[in-house]
Amino acid sequence: ALLHLGTSYLDINELRSRSINWADALAARSGEAVRLGTPFEGQVLVIHHVFRPDDTLQTLDVGSLLPLHASSLGKVLLAYGTASLESASEAGLEAYTRHTLVAPEKLTRALAEVREVGWAAEIQEMSMGEAGIASPIRGHGGLVVGAVGLSGPVERICDSHGRPRPNLITLLREAARAISRDLGAAR
Most distant CA atoms of the chain, gap in Å: 45
Give domain status of residue 167, yes or no: no
- Residues sharing a CB contact under 8 Å with residue 59, sequence separation 6 or more, in sequence order: none
Residue 41, domain member (yes or no): yes
Q: Is residue 166 part of a domain?
A: no
Q: How far is CA 11 from the centre of its chain?
A: 18
What is the tally of structural domains in the chain? 1
7 lies in a domain?
yes
Domain residue limits at 152: 2-161+178-182
Q: Indicate whether 106 pLDDT > 50.
A: yes
On whether residue 169 sits in a domain, the answer given is no
- What band does 3 get if pLDDT is binned at 50, 70 and 90? very low
pLDDT value of residue 89:
53
Select from 179, 176, 71 the least CA-distant residue to 118.
176
24-34 pLDDT per residue, tens = 999 999 999 99
- Other Cβ atoms less than 10 A from the Cβ of 165: the count is 17
- C-alpha 116/C-alpha 119 separation (Å) is 8
The reported pLDDT for the residue numbered 86 is 65
Question: What is the C-alpha separation between 160 and 129, in angstroms, rounded?
Answer: 14
Is 133 inside a domain boundary? yes
Binned at pLDDT 50, 70 and 90, residue 91 comes out as: low
The answer to whether residue 151 sits within a structural domain is yes
In a domain, 168, yes or no: no
At 77, which CATH number?
Answer: 3.30.450.40
